[in-house]
A and B are shown apart, each in its own frame.
Chain A
Amino acid sequence: MQTFWLALLGLLLSGYFVLGGYDLGVQLLHSFMKDRDAALGAMAPFFLGNEVWLVAFTGVLFGAFPHLEGSLLSGLYPLVVAILVGLVVGNTAVQLRRRTRRGRRWWQALIVAGGTLPAVCWGLVVGLLLHGVPRLADGSFHIGAGQVLTPFVLACGVSVALLFASHGAAFLALRSAPDLAVRARRAGTTLVGAAGAAAVLALVLTLLGVGASMTNPLTSAPLTGLLATALVAAWWSLSRGHRIRAFAATCCATVVPVLLVGAGQHPYVLATKAGAGLSVAEAAADGTTLQILTAFGVVLIPTILAYQAWSWWAFRARTASSYF
């Protein structure tokens, strides 16, 4: 049952990385897109539904893995606060930008900042979790500049931010009018390359022994291979103009960081180093609680997936930017 909830937690975070990831990416690219209304309009119908995956992730984290929730969020305090600040500012700016006539520049700056800050910080979080965090005897930990400002963690930060940006570009290439799509496709090609370069740097640092310390190298290797394949496929499809394939490839690529943290460190949900840390069993809620949650979960999860899929289907056609 713990495995079921771990998988569900992974699904929710993956969902957020894929769906929220392109939101952040589109925000990052906002200043570079000529038709800004259209760029935001492309993601507008899904924007509210995408953010929910993160909130649901946190809710399930608290419900099913309370012992991870407490130490993870308080341990990563500065990064989590930065992510939240970015999300609050970015979300509001995206939705309220067109409610005022003046101050468009301010809203734009906030939209870009609200995309960049969380994107980079998510990457830093991924880097820290792959590298391992310095847990104390009582299970708590605190990250400081010493842990964050290492070449590996920074490389992860840059890599994930670029990954989100290229994912956003692939999304715009898929869903916007020809002019904007061409522009997005070009930006996407460059960004995928840059994301790949940063990821290679992180990989080299890991091979040199100053990067990730994975509990399961045998699982991590194919996942890294998947990331490489997805990035190459994305680059190839973007440069050839295969928009659907390109978006599918960037979707795969954005899920890999979540899989690396989840599967690469299994059975540890908060690793201190390879083969040590807080295990799934220690982190999970009591069996009775999980049983009750499962009874709800088996009904709710398919329902959620169904209505989210319905909303994607209902708005599959490109939207005129009529509200955001």
Chain B
Amino acid sequence: MSAADLARLQFAATTGIHWLFVILTMGLVPIVAIMHTRAAFTRDPAKAAVRERMTRFWGQLYLINYTVGIATGIVMEFQFGLSWSGLSKFAGNVFGAPLALETLIAFFAESTFLGMWIFGWGRLRRGVHVTLIWLVALTAYASAYWILVANGFMQQPVGYQVRDGAAYLTDFAALVTNPSALIALAHVTLAALTTGGVFVAGVSAYHFARDAKETDLFRGSLRLGVWVAMLASFFVIIVGDMQFPLLRRTQPMKIAAMDDSGVAQVQAQLLQQYGPGDYTLPGEWLRVSMDAMTIIGNTISTITLIAVILLWKDWLVRWRPLAWLMTAMIPFPFIASVGGWVFREVGRQPWLVYGELTVADALSHVSTAALAISCATFIAIFVALAVTNWTLITRLARRGPDATQLGALQPLAEDKQTVPAF
């Protein structure tokens, strides 16, 4: 493998795995925030206790996933400089700003507030505690926004001017309102909520299928999960389709290669536009990923629509095969979201910044040996993390709320006298 292949494999594998964590994190956090809010504002103590238990159980599932998401996310922040220093050389003036703002506006707050939320049970006032999880949810989506502004610039560069071989930011407003970023944000948001909703509904249904003891708790989360998944999956398809007119304009080869029509014509047009080069794309990759999204999206949308109706009198979980069907749906949004990611990024090739900088030109001068070692190491660690993540999530999801550790305070004897530390 050449250095370029290794660097691409490293980026694709690490980002792809990171993305699987991200989409569940984004999907679960608003659901956990809703649960926490309901728990905090329920008057009836028995009901409030069930809802708080619900929040802690789903909160811990969310946290396990967040842990690996944030750990892999640290690597993401460094990747551009490590293997793609040509990007900062060419587009640093433009591309760096959204990344810097993402860390300062969103990520800093998300992590700090989440740390406070985890350890705030029984320690912070209820209103403050609930506000914290909403701030975490808000900043998670703010994070997604800034990352997509950076990614949108790669897909469809706007608001810049090239002088002496480097891009300069000329229109910040255009950069942050790039349609390639905004529509993608809407699509990704809905995809994440679908993933989170299906996950919550599927795990809840599992407990009904296995004769759950905590029916009140799981009835509540099942309802919330099914409703979120139904609404989100309905709109995710619509917003997904809204991107086609834009793509036809900005990335014509993507559509031509997927439909396998007019590839030669687009190639000729791109040759004229950007000079010699091979601008064709692997149509099979694009078709498979698009089909995965379409089929999975439509199926989930249909099933959850029926499921919402069947929520009445618990019909959905009374008949076991139906409950199992809900559980079996859990992996599919992830498959679809990987499809979406492949479609977006494979379809951008051979460009790193569309029309301006090719992937090959952006590669750092790093030795092939160093790349091979780092590539193998990162992939091994990331796969191990994915396996750990899903093993731990599955285990806790099956054991149920009894196994929750989040918010279970075990004050030490000497802890009653508070020791000032800072």
Contact = CB atoms under 8 A, between A and B. Distances in A.
Contacts of A175: 419, 421
Given A63-B97, A74-B364, A296-B101, A88 B421 contact: no
Interface string A51-85: 11011101111111011011111100110110011
Interface in A256-282: none
Interface string A285-324: 1101100110011001100100110011111111111110
Nearest to B171: A288
A45 interface: yes
Interface in B70-117: 70-75, 77-78, 80-83, 85-89, 91-105, 107-109, 111-116
Nearest to A174: B421
B81 A320 contact: no
A96 interface: yes
A48 B169 contact: no
Contacts of B377: 81, 85
B418 interface: yes
Contacts of A289: 93-94, 96-97, 168-169
A70 B421 contact: no
Contacts of B101: 59, 63, 293, 296
Q: Decide if the interface of chain A is mainly helix, strand, loop or mixed.
A: helix
Given A63-B97, A85-B381, A314 B103 contact: no
A91 B71 contact: yes
Given A178-B414, A317-B418, A70 B87 contact: yes
Contacts of A105: none
Contact of A95 (B67, B87, B412, B421): B67
Contacts of A292: 97, 169, 172
A142 interface: yes
Contact of B408 (A59, A60, A307, A322): A322
Given A46-B115, A47-B115, A317-B421, A59 B77 contact: yes
Interface string B360-373: 00001111001001
Given A48-B70, A320-B412, A77 B366 contact: yes
Nearest to A92: B71
B415 interface: yes
Contacts of A319: 119, 415
Contacts of B91: 66
B80 A322 contact: no
A15 to B, nearest CB: 10
Interface in B349-381: 364-367, 370, 373-374, 377-378, 381
A318 B124 CA distance: 14
B100 A64 contact: yes
B412 A142 contact: no
A273 B314 CA distance: 74
A96 B392 contact: yes
B385 interface: yes
A69 B93 CA distance: 12
A300 B142 CA distance: 14
Given A292-B172, A296-B101, A92 B385 contact: yes
A45 B116 contact: yes
Given A77-B366, A317-B420, A72 B111 contact: no
A319 B274 CA distance: 61
B118 to A, nearest CB: 6
B119 A45 contact: yes
B411 interface: yes
Given A64-B100, A91-B67, A96-B64, A318 B85 contact: no
A88 to B, nearest CB: 5
B9 interface: no
A225 interface: no
Interface of B: 63-64, 67-68, 70-75, 77-78, 80-83, 85-89, 91-105, 107-109, 111-116, 118-121, 123-124, 168-170, 172, 364-367, 370, 373-374, 377-378, 381, 385, 388, 392, 396, 405-412, 414-415, 418-422
12 contacts: A45-B116, A48-B70, A56-B104, A59-B100, A64-B100, A74-B81, A77-B82, A92-B71, A285-B97, A288-B168, A304-B108, A322-B409
Given A52-B103, A74-B85, 19 more contacts: A52-B107, A52-B108, A55-B73, A67-B88, A70-B85, A73-B82, A81-B370, A92-B71, A95-B67, A96-B388, A140-B85, A142-B365, A289-B168, A300-B104, A304-B108, A317-B418, A320-B412, A323-B119, A323-B407
